[in-house]
């Protein structure tokens, strides 16, 4: 599951399968391959977690997860991945499903709960929908990382000026509060726009709240 250096591979979906039934793993991998989807399978939660990079999944896709497995159960793995903010939608697939289990899985954020035996087309449809969700999630996370990196370029004074800009203060007000000249504030303002790669104040205001930016350090 280590990311490849090939950008085309990173952008292509990868379906992850965690199921202790070898025949089921092979069957699902074959099904996904029949429509051109790559799949990687694991017999239990431990082997899946051991292969998962620290930064989590970086390719779009979905995790197809069995419930009853040796060691950590599928629902326990689902909870752990939720704590780690795992970005891929999780489809719970089980032959031992019941209503309380389904409710528990869905409340914990599962994308769908599918009972075995299932219709192959239904599984493919749900995986396709999950891939589209994952693409949106990964794109959003990528934007947030990029914005955080841009914010990290700002110096202390630039961050203070940025705070004033975001609260709608005029340059002369920011200059007075920070004991700077108006020309210096204007220079900081231009530098902020350049470092943040913002084409307008509206774009700057939209990007900063999504980055988790807090008080200047």
- Where do the structural domains in the chain lie, given as residue ranges? 7-147, 153-211
Provide mean pLDDT across the span 3-26: 78
Would you say 25 and 19 are in contact if contact means Cβ atoms under 8 Å apart? yes
* 56 confidence band (pLDDT: 50, 70, 90): low
User: Where does 7-147 sit in CATH, by number?
Assistant: 3.40.50.2300
Rounded Cα gap, residues 90 and 110, in angstroms: 5
Q: Torsion angle of alpha carbons 132, 67, 98, 30, nearest 10°?
A: 60
* CATH architecture assignment, domain 153-211: Orthogonal Bundle (1.10)
Q: Which two tokens stand for residue 40?
A: 């990687």
Rounded Cα gap, residues 12 and 173, in angstroms: 50
Closest-CA residue to 57 (of 149, 133, 134): 134
Q: Are both 7-147 and 153-211 of the same fold? A: no
Closest-CA residue to 195 (of 140, 136, 135, 155): 155
Provide mean pLDDT across the span 122-126: 95
Rounded Cα gap, residues 186 and 61, in angstroms: 45
Would you say 68 and 87 are in contact if contact means Cβ atoms under 8 Å apart? no
Q: Which is higher by pLDDT, 27 or 108? A: 27
Q: Which is higher by pLDDT, 115 or 129? A: 129
Provide mean pLDDT across the span 126-152: 91
> Does the structure show a pLDDT above 60 at 52?
yes
Provide mean pLDDT across the span 118-126: 94
Contacts 24+ apart (CB under 8 A), 139-143: 141/87, 143/207, 143/210
Compute CA distances 36 → 30, 43, 212, whole Å.
Answer: 10, 23, 37
Q: How far is CA 173 from the centre of its chain?
A: 39
Would you say 57 and 88 are in contact if contact means Cβ atoms under 8 Å apart? yes
Count Cβ atoms within 10 A of the Cβ of residue 185 and give its class: 0-12 exposed, 13-18 middle, 19 or more buried.
Answer: buried
> Does the structure show a pLDDT above 50 at 4?
no
Q: Using one digit for the tens of pLDDT, what is the confidence trace for 72-89? A: 988 899 999 999 888 899
- Name 113's bridge partners: 92
């Amino acid at each position: 599951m280590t990311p490849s250096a090939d950008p085309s591979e990173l952008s292509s979906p990868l379906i992850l399968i965690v199921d202790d039934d070898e025949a089921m793993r092979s069957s699902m991998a074959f099904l996904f391959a029949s429509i051109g989807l790559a799949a990687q399978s694991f017999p239990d939660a431990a082997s899946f977690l051991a292969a998962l990079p620290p930064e989590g999944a970086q390719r779009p896709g979905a995790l197809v997860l069995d419930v009853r497995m040796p060691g950590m159960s599928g629902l326990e793995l689902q909870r752990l991945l939720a704590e780690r903010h795992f970005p891929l939608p999780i489809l719970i697939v089980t032959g031992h499903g019941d209503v309380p289990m389904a409710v528990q899985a869905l409340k914990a954020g599962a994308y769908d709960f599918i009972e075995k035996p299932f219709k192959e087309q239904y599984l493919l449809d749900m995986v396709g929908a999950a891939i589209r969700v994952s693409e949106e999630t990964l794109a959003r996370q990528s934007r947030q990382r990029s914005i955080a990196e841009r914010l990290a370029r700002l110096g202390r004074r630039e961050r203070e000026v940025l705070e004033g800009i975001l609260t709608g203060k005029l340059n002369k007000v920011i200059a007075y509060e920070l004991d700077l000249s108006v020309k210096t504030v204007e220079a900081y303002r231009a530098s902020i726009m350049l470092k943040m790669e913002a084409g307008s104040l509206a774009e700057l205001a939209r990007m900063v709240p999504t980055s988790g930016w807090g008080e200047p350090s």
